[in-house]
C-alpha cells in the first residue's frame, strides 16, 4: 500500500520528465503500477482530493466510566488514598471490572503536590569542602577518583587511586590541603565507609564517625560532616564534578598506566577544569579562589598526620632497637688468680 505522499512525489517527478523506469528503481514500485496510475488518472485525482483524511477513532466505553467521578471526588478530598482502597470502594458501588484499570486511572488523575524548586545552598569562602570517590574502569582494572571541591570557589582537586581505604583518603586530603594552601572549616562527605561507621539519623539516632578519622580531622583542624542518607542535594557540588570528570576528562581519552592517568588529570585540572567559567558562579574557579577563598582557609598543620597504629609500631620498633644492659662486676686480680688454680 503506497500512501498519498508517495503518489504525489511520483506525479511531481513525472511532470519534470523523470522516466517511469527511473522512478520504479527509486521508489521500489513496479513500473506497470506507475503506468496504470497515470493512465487511469489516479495521480490527478489524488492531487485534487488532498490526500486521505482519517476521522478520529470512536471512543470505546469501559466498565469504569460510570465510577470515574467517584474516584475523582474521593481523591480530591483525600489525595493519598491508595488505588487498592479505591478499587474496593468502586467495587462496592457496583464496578465489576479489573483492578489494573482502576490503578491506571488513579495514577492518571491523582492530584500531585507542586514540586518546590530546590534551594541552592551556597557557603562562604573557606567554610566548606566536599569530598567523594568516583569509580572508573580502565584496561588494567578499576580506579577510584578522589575529588575534593571547595564550596565557594568550586576549585577542584583530583587524584586516582587503586583502593578506597583510610590511608588513601588521608593521603589524598593532605595532598589537596597542600594544593589549596590551607584547610576549610569543615569537610562534607557522602556515606563513605572510611569515614562513617553508622548513621541512624533517619530514625532519630545518631551519626558515628570513624575514630581514626576524627583524630585526623582534629590534627588538621576541620570538622567532618556526613550527608544524610538519600539526600544527594546536600552534596551536589561534588556529585556534578564527578560527572564532569567523566565527560570532560575521562571519556575518549587514552591512558597508558596509573602515572600517566594522574599526570593527565593534573594537566586537565590546571588547563581546563579550574580555569573554565563556572555555570553557577559565572566566574573561573581559580579567580574566585585567589581573590576570596585562599586567605579564608585555615592554616596547614605543621606536619603530616601519623596514624595511631603507625605511632604504636614506631614505639615498638624503638623499643626493639634499645640494646640490653650488661652489668660488669669488678673483682681484684687476686680473686681471678685463685679462680684459675
Average model confidence (pLDDT) for the chain?
82
Answer yes or no: is pLDDT of 119 > 60: no
Bigger pLDDT: 229 vs 297: 297
Q: Which of 54-58, 149-153, 160-164, 254-258 has the lowest mean pLDDT?
A: 54-58
> Grid cell 560527572 — which residue?
243
Sequence spans of domains, the chain: 4-49, 65-109, 129-296
| Gap between the Cα atoms of 230 and 250, Å rounded | 27
Q: Judging by DSSP bridges, how do beta strands 186-189 and 156-161 pair with one another?
A: unpaired
338: its cell numbers? 685463685
pLDDT of residue 179: 94
**End-to-end Cα distance, the chain:** 132
Is residue 328 helix, strand or coil? coil
pLDDT at 319: 61
Comparing 26-30, 42-46, 118-122, 157-161, which segment has the lowest mean pLDDT?
118-122
What three-state secondary structure class fits 117?
coil
CB 162 within 8 A of CB 135: no
User: What is the assigned CATH class of domain 129-296?
Assistant: alpha beta
The pLDDT tens digits of the residues spanning 230-253 come to: 554 554 444 578 888 998 899 889
CB 195 within 8 A of CB 213: yes
β-pairing, 207-209 with 196-199? Answer: antiparallel
Q: What is the spatial distance between Cα 340 and Cα 186, in angstroms, rounded to a whole number?
A: 78
**In this predicted model, what pLDDT tens digit does every residue of 1-30 receive, in sequence order?**
566 677 777 777 777 777 888 878 877 888
Strand pairing class (156-161; 141-150): antiparallel
Helices of type H across 110-210: 166-180
Top-confidence residue, 106 or 36: 106
- Report pLDDT for 118: 47
- Evaluate if residue 288 carries a pLDDT over 70: yes
Per the CB < 8 A criterion, the answer to whether 129 and 148 are in contact is yes
Maximum Cα–Cα distance across the chain:
149
Long-range contacts of 260-263, Cβ-Cβ distance < 8 Å, separation of 24 or more: 261/138, 261/143, 261/160, 262/159, 262/160
8 A C-beta contact, residue 226 and residue 235 = no
Q: What cell numbers appear for 203 in the block?
A: 530514625
Residue 102: helix, strand or coil by DSSP?
Answer: helix
Q: Report, as an integer, the average pLDDT of 123-152.
A: 92
Mean pLDDT is lowest, of 36-45, 161-170, 216-225, for 36-45
DSSP per residue, 263-323: HHHHHHIIIIITTSPPTTTSS-HHHHIIIIIGGGSBPPPSS----HHHHHHHHHHHHHHSP
Amino acid at each position: 500500500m503506497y500512501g498519498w505522499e508517495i503518489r504525489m512525489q511520483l506525479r511531481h517527478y513525472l511532470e519534470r520528465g523523470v522516466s517511469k523506469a527511473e522512478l520504479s528503481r527509486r521508489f521500489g514500485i513496479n513500473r506497470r503500477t506507475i503506468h496504470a496510475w497515470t493512465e487511469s488518472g489516479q495521480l490527478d485525482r489524488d492531487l485534487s482530493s488532498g490526500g486521505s483524511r482519517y476521522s478520529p477513532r470512536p471512543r470505546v466505553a469501559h466498565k469504569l466510566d460510570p465510577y470515574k467521578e467517584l474516584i475523582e471526588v474521593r481523591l480530591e478530598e483525600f489525595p493519598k488514598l491508595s488505588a487498592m482502597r479505591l478499587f474496593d470502594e468502586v467495587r462496592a458501588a457496583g464496578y465489576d471490572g479489573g483492578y489494573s484499570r482502576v490503578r491506571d486511572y488513579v495514577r492518571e488523575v491523582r492530584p500531585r503536590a507542586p514540586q518546590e524548586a530546590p534551594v541552592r545552598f551556597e557557603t562562604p569562602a573557606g567554610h566548606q569542602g566536599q569530598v567523594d570517590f568516583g569509580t572508573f574502569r580502565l584496561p588494567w582494572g578499576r580506579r577510584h577518583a578522589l575529588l575534593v571541591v571547595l564550596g565557594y570557589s568550586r576549585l577542584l582537586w583530583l587524584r586516582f587511586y587503586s583502593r578506597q581505604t583510610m590511608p588513601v583518603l588521608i593521603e589524598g586530603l593532605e595532598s589537596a590541603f597542600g594544593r589549596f594552601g590551607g584547610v576549610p572549616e569543615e569537610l562534607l562527605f557522602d556515606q563513605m565507609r572510611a569515614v562513617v561507621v553508622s548513621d541512624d539519623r533517619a530514625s532519630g539516632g545518631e551519626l558515628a564517625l570513624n575514630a581514626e578519622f576524627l583524630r585526623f580531622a582534629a590534627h588538621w583542624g576541620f570538622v567532618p560532616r556526613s550527608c544524610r542518607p538519600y539526600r544527594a542535594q546536600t552534596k551536589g557540588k561534588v556529585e556534578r564534578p564527578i560527572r564532569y570528570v567523566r565527560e570532560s576528562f575521562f571519556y575518549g581519552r587514552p591512558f597508558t598506566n596509573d602515572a600517566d592517568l594522574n599526570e593527565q588529570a593534573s594537566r586537565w585540572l590546571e588547563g581546563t577544569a579550574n580555569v573554565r567559567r563556572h555555570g553557577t558562579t559565572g566566574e573561573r574557579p581559580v579567580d574566585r579562589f585567589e581573590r576570596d577563598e585562599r586567605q579564608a582557609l585555615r592554616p596547614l598543620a605543621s606536619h603530616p598526620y601519623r596514624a595511631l597504629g603507625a605511632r604504636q609500631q614506631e614505639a615498638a620498633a624503638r623499643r626493639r632497637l634499645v640494646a640490653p644492659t650488661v652489668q660488669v662486676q669488678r673483682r681484684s686480680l687476686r680473686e681471678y688468680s685463685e679462680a684459675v688454680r
